[in-house]
Amino acid sequence: MADVREAPSKPEAVASLGLPQATALILGSIIGVGIFNLPYSLASIGPISIVAMVLTTVGAVALAMMFASLSRRLPADGGPYAYARAGFGNGTGFLNAWSYWITAWAGNAAIVTGWVFYVEKFVNTGHVAGWSIVIALVGLWIPAAINLSGVKNTGAVQLWTSIVKYVPLALMSTVGLLAISSGNFTPWNVSGESDLRAIGSAMAICLFSYLGVEAAAVAAAKVRDPERNIPKATLLGTLGASVVYLLSMVAVFGAVPTTELAKDENKASYSVAADAMVGGGTWAGTLVALAVIVSGIGALNGWIMICAEMPLAAAKDGLFPAVFGRISRRGVPAPSIIASTVLGSVAMAVSFMGTSGATVFNTLVLMTGITAAVPYAFSALAQLKWRLRDRRELHTPRFARDATVAVLALIFSVLFIWCSRNTGAENWYEVWGPFLMAGVAMLLGIPVYLRMRTRMTDPPPVPPYH
């Protein structure tokens, strides 16, 4: 066997997350600040974006069902990376680990950039770029410090912030529906493109709000009784998010004209909608902004854990440098947490220094859609491969359901990649910017792969269906 370098086994990571904490990890990772910034990001497309959200929700639920099934068979740390590696070998495993890691730290940059929109309702109201960067750094490194303090603290913060963030969305999804004016849904499509193209463009942006359906599978080593808790948490968290997502989006677009949502001073879309729903004043929007600030901290708390778990799992298998597998005395992969947060900080700073903050923010969002869709697609292919093998070897229940869900997940993954263009941009390099950024980030993984390929352990055998 090749020279194998295993990650140090002492001290070991601690499995401290029960079903409530694992569900909160899913819910908290999905509901960050993406949904709260969506109306502003989608205002250039129009209320037709609601159709895109419905279709994206179908894809997200299919992904959740698929990851629930895969985690029962292979409750391995690393989730999508582990499935791709077990199904197609180390080369594909490295591609998926690297791609997902990019998704995680670049996604954190996008989350914290959107989070600043709501913080600046209270401070730096003039949006001075230097101070925006300082605020964003605080937003990134506080959750990093929580993660460094131990898994138990991370889980507790995730649980309570998930409760806080769910309240404004639940209110918007119920009481907010009473403030809808049908006239605000026209014009339906303001993008200047066909309805089909407009829906596709909006879907790519909507996907960012659903990243995290796989969070519990990625952090399998931190979850108690993973075979039982990961599938339940994945489905409960995704369904809980999807209900409030769809209803609150309808409420926001119905309560505020699209022309108002598109204004730069209205980036904090849900605060604007809350003020409109109560008939004026700013108290409702202020409360929503405070909830979103808490929501952002919770999302970053969860995503920083996920950021560290993927390279940790890959390092244990010899695919990533051994430093990513080092566990601190508090039972967390400290080097992975720090490295991922540093990369997120750099990407965030670049987004604030761009000539057009909105364009660069959307480019980051679309880039993460591309890099997330790669491991999603390979997970679907692994599921199809294994379920077809099951079908040949023995009669297994739920074959039609699992195969249909995997095909849907694969189709949506491909669609998300294709639709991840800045369609509203004027120059070709802005239109294809997400692909260029994702491509460069992926190419940076080549020297790492070449260095590590002789040190990789063999993929584990795939357990039989049960």
- Residue-by-residue DSSP string for 131-178: HHHHHHHHHHHHHHHHHHT-HHHHHHHHHHHHHHHHHHHHHHTTGGGG
Helix/strand/coil for 223:
strand
pLDDT at residue 330 in the model:
83
User: How far is Cα 179 from Cα 185, in angstroms, rounded to an integer?
Assistant: 13
User: How far is Cα 459 from Cα 74, in angstroms, rounded to an integer?
Assistant: 12
pLDDT at residue 146 in the model:
93
pLDDT at residue 2 in the model:
41
The amino acid present at 439, given as its one-letter code, is G
Residues in the chain: 466
pLDDT at residue 450 in the model:
93
Reply yes or no on whether the pLDDT at 279 is more than 90: no
Q: At what angle do helices 226-255 and 19-30 cross, to 10 degrees?
A: 30
Share of the chain above pLDDT 70, in %: 90
User: How far is Cα 146 from Cα 183, in angstroms, rounded to an integer?
Assistant: 46
User: Which of these ranges, 189-203, 347-361, 450-464, has the smallest mean pLDDT?
Assistant: 347-361
User: How far is Cα 386 from Cα 388, in angstroms, rounded to an integer?
Assistant: 5
H runs (alpha helix) in 394-432: 399-419, 428-431
What sign does the dihedral 323-298-108-432 (CA atoms) show? Answer: positive
Give the HSE-up count for residue 26: Cα atoms under 13 Å, Cβ half-sphere.
31
Q: Is the distance from CB of 320 to CB of 452 less than 8 angstroms?
A: yes
Beta-carbon contacts of residue 279 (< 8 Å; ≥ 6 apart): none
How far from the centroid of its chain's Cα atoms is residue 361's Cα?
15
355 or 432: which carries more pLDDT confidence? 432
User: Which of these ranges, 133-137, 212-216, 427-431, has the smallest mean pLDDT?
Assistant: 427-431
User: How far is Cα 101 from Cα 310, in angstroms, rounded to an integer?
Assistant: 6
User: Which of these ranges, 47-56, 357-366, 400-409, has the smallest mean pLDDT?
Assistant: 357-366
Q: How many helices (H) and strands (E) does the chain have?
A: 19, 0
DSSP letter (8 states) at residue 460: P
Helix, strand, coil shares, percent, the chain, to 5 = 75, 0, 25
What sign does the dihedral 286-292-298-301 (CA atoms) show? Answer: negative
In the block, residue with structure tokens 């996604």: 107
Helix/strand/coil for 466:
coil
Reply yes or no on whether the pLDDT at 165 is more than 80: no
Tokens of 168: 């404004």
Reply yes or no on whether the pLDDT at 380 is more than 90: yes
Average pLDDT over residues 142-170: 84
Q: Is the distance from CB of 115 to CB of 136 less than 8 angstroms?
A: yes
Beta-carbon contacts of residue 247 (< 8 Å; ≥ 6 apart): 172, 173, 174, 176, 177
pLDDT at residue 138 in the model:
94
What sign does the dihedral 93-452-306-227 (CA atoms) show? Answer: positive
Reply yes or no on whether the pLDDT at 448 is more than 90: yes
Share of the chain above pLDDT 90, in %: 17
Paired with 223 in beta bridges are 17
How far from the centroid of its chain's Cα atoms is residue 356's Cα?
23
Average pLDDT over residues 36-52: 85
pLDDT at residue 423 in the model:
62
Beta-carbon contacts of residue 91 (< 8 Å; ≥ 6 apart): 449, 453
Phi-psi region of 94 (alpha: psi -120 to 50; beta: other; left: phi over 0): alpha
Global confidence as pTM: 0.82
Of 364, 400, 407, the C-alpha closest to 104 is 364
pLDDT at residue 429 in the model:
65
The amino acid present at 242, given as its one-letter code, is S
Q: What mean pLDDT, rounded, does the chain reach? A: 82
User: How far is Cα 292 from Cα 255, in angstroms, rounded to an integer?
Assistant: 19
201 or 455: which carries more pLDDT confidence? 455
Of 122, 427, 418, 175, the C-alpha closest to 290 is 122
Of 265, 236, 274, 466, the C-alpha closest to 357 is 265
pLDDT at residue 142 in the model:
94
Helix/strand/coil for 181:
coil
